[in-house]
Amino acid sequence: MEITFTDREADVMQVLWEHGPSSVADVQAKVGDKLAYTTILTVLRTLETKGYVGHQAQGRSFRYHALVEQQVARKSALRHLTSKLFKGSADLLMTHLVSDEKLSAEQVRRMRALLADHDGGELP
C-alpha cells in the first residue's frame, strides 16, 4: 500500500501521531501554520476518505485518529522518493544524504552502526 500525503496532510498526521485522537480545534491549535478551522476539517475529511484517518463521535464533535502508523508512512514515502528521484537505488539515496548533508560525528557513528547491524557486523 502506497501512502502519500500533501504537505498539509503530513502536518495534520504529525499532530495525530504525536498527540493521539484529537478534535479539529486540537489539531488547529497544534499545527505550525495558522490555518482556519474549516481548512483543518477539510484536510481531516480528505485523509479519512483516503483511509488514513478515522473518527469517533464525542458529544456533538468528532475526535480524529490515525489509522496508519507513522513508521509505515515513512517507509512508503521513502520507497516513493527512492523510486522517483533516485532510480530505485538506495545507494544513490544514501550517497546523496552523506555527500550533501553536514553530518556530525555522532550521526556518522550511528549510520555506521546501522550498516554494520544490517550487514551482520562486517564493515570494511
Residue span of the structural domain in which 98 resides = 89-124
CATH at 24: 1.10.10.10
How many other CB atoms sit within 10 Å of the CB of residue 12? 29
- Angle between helices 37-50 and 7-19 in degrees, nearest 10: 90
Extended beta strands in the chain, E state: 53-58, 61-66
Residue 82 lies inside a defined structural domain of this protein: no
**How much is the pLDDT for 123?**
45
- Clarify whether residues 99 and 50 are in a common domain: no
Contacts of 19 (CB under 8 A, 6+ apart): 26, 30
Residue 36 lies inside a defined structural domain of this protein: yes
- Clarify whether residues 98 and 61 are in a common domain: no
**How much is the pLDDT for 124?**
47
User: Predicted confidence band at 9 (pLDDT cuts at 50, 70, 90)?
Assistant: very high
Give tens-digit pLDDT for 10-60: 999 999 999 999 999 999 999 988 899 999 999 999 999 999 999 999 999
Q: What is the pTM of this model?
A: 0.79
Output the nine-digit C-alpha cell for 66: 490515525
Residue 37 lies inside a defined structural domain of this protein: yes
CA pair distance 35, 6, nearest whole angstrom: 15
Residue 73 lies inside a defined structural domain of this protein: no
- Angle between helices 70-85 and 7-19 in degrees, nearest 10: 150
Q: Number of structural domains, the chain?
A: 2
